[in-house]
Amino acid sequence: MNQQPQPDRIIIFDTTLRDGEQCPGATLNVDEKLAIARQLARLGVDVIEAGFAFASPGDFEAVQKIAKTVGTEDGPIVCSLARAIKADIEAAAEALKPARHARIHTFISTSDIHLEYQLKKSRAEVLAIAEEMVAYAKSFMDDVEFSTMDATRTDPEYLYQVLERAIAAGATTINIPDTVGYSMPSEFGELIRGIKENVPNIDQAVISVHGHNDLGVGVANFLEAVKNGARQLECTINGIGERAGNASLEELVMALHVRRQYYNPFLGRPADSEEPLTNIDTRQIYKTSRLVSNLTGMLVQPNKAIVGANAFAHESGIHQDGILKNKLTYEIMDAQSIGLNDNQIVLGKHSGRNAFRTRLKELGFDLSETDLNKAFLRFKDLADKKKEMSDWDLEAIVNDEIQQAPELFRLELVQVSCGDRARPTATVTLRTPTGEELTDAAIGTGPVDAVYKAMNRVVNVPNQLIEFSVQSVTAGIDAIGEVTIRLRHSDRVYSGHAANTDIIVASAQAYVNALNRLYASLQSEKNPSVPPDEQITTVAPVAIQGSREQA
């Protein structure tokens, strides 16, 4: 779906895998990025910004794999970010080669404060660089996007000059970022209108917007931009991203969907047109939100618009009475429109592998044979413990399997003892990267704290637990509990996630996942050219020592 300028609809540019990943603690590995990219393609986004190819070998590999796997003939445009520097642009072009439809997104700062303190360059120098680097990107591919970083604090007259030169050099999309989340909706709309009126060749490019939510008006800014001529929106799933995050994809898409009669005239359509304003399959929204939340460890707050747990919940008696009589009294959209449904019993302990595979495909999961076998074993184990299995249970199982960290340390045993007259004590056994089984025990303020202290005694890698959260996937005493944790080590944050009907086991496994990410990072720093799962044969485990009893 290689998109040309189409002023009668909105192009959705998803930057979850690039800007969204810059969220502290949201670092994703290549396989996790690929899983999200596949789901973004199912969601129907027009452009996937797969990463910043020059930033690291891992980012380059992720962009390249996404380009090859998702960048098919009928798939989305795959994009890589690049500074206005030749080496960045060359790396982006190389990583994007496998994609049938590819885009280089190059950028440079334009505000005086950035020019003076960050770039230490004059306006004339930046103008020349922008023109030269857009032309250089154009020599690799036709689809080139150019961004003016900190556009909302840039002198408008200078901004017009930079944009005109960039378009003349070959930019097919020009992006106006509110980099620091400073602008207000009316100001942002006025900026877009000024660009439409004062850049002579603006009709040769799509106007795009990118914005952060520091003052809570990211989505409002984008909707105002649409009214004034913006036709591409750069957003993220669940609004994740640097600092307070980005404008939220699901909020933008559903605002344009629910209120399309309001926005139709701004896109030259009849006000009563029922044609969708985006290519997004809204029924994939909730599933995509859950996947991103699980893989990044960034939980969605209950009152989050569209995808929060309370978005379609009604506690007020008056509201409940109205909903029972007519949903339209207190709901402006149907929960099913974002992929929520009331499916409860879908499979049971007597279900076979083929039924399991078929149901997963219906839910949008296309697993490899290895991942399917692992997920099926988890399903059978859970089905023995639960009388009723829901789609949410299945999603929790699959998401837990596909997001596993490299299995360096492996949990072999966890056992706890606690009560109101006992000191919480935990015993754990871990298999180390060298295959050795180590067992230790610890006392904590609670059973989970005791488990974590025992694990730290075994692994002996300094870290600080900065976040621990538990949420139930479904209702009931036998519900699956999902645990997400975040560890800090040397100013870097590592997340871990696990799901189990036993919350202690889920907590232990989530901690192991986070420790594995931490450990793999330490090994990569020692041998950057060797993949973490291969380094265990050449690098001794980190500080595994002391008086621990071997299992």
Mean pLDDT by 10 residues, the chain (551 residues): 62 96 75 91 97 92 96 97 98 98 98 94 97 98 98 97 98 97 97 98 97 97 98 97 95 96 95 96 92 83 87 57 55 80 55 78 74 82 68 72 71 93 94 90 94 92 87 69 85 81 90 87 66 39 33 27
What is the model's pTM? 0.78
Query: For 248, which DSSP code?
Result: B
Q: Which residue has the tokens 């960045």?
A: 88
Q: What pLDDT score does 31 carry?
A: 82
Angstrom distance (rounded) from CA 175 to CA 8: 18
Rg (Cα) of the chain, in Å, rounded? 25
- HEC letters along 363-431: CCCCCCHHHHHHHHHHHHHHHCCCCCCCHHHHHHHHHHHHCCCCCCCEEEEEEEEEECCEEEEEEEEEE
Q: What pLDDT score does 333 carry?
A: 82
Angstrom distance (rounded) from CA 312 to CA 340: 10
Q: How does strand 11-14 pair with strand 232-235? A: parallel
Angstrom distance (rounded) from CA 251 to CA 219: 7
Judge contact between 276 and 297, C-beta under 8 A: no
Angstrom distance (rounded) from CA 53 to CA 82: 7
Counting beta carbons within 10 angstroms of the beta carbon of residue 545, is it exposed (0 to 12), middle (13 to 18) or buried (19 or more)?
Answer: exposed
Residue 362 is inside which H or E element, if any?
helix 353-362
Residue 13 is inside which H or E element, if any?
strand 11-14
Q: What pLDDT score does 320 carry?
A: 47
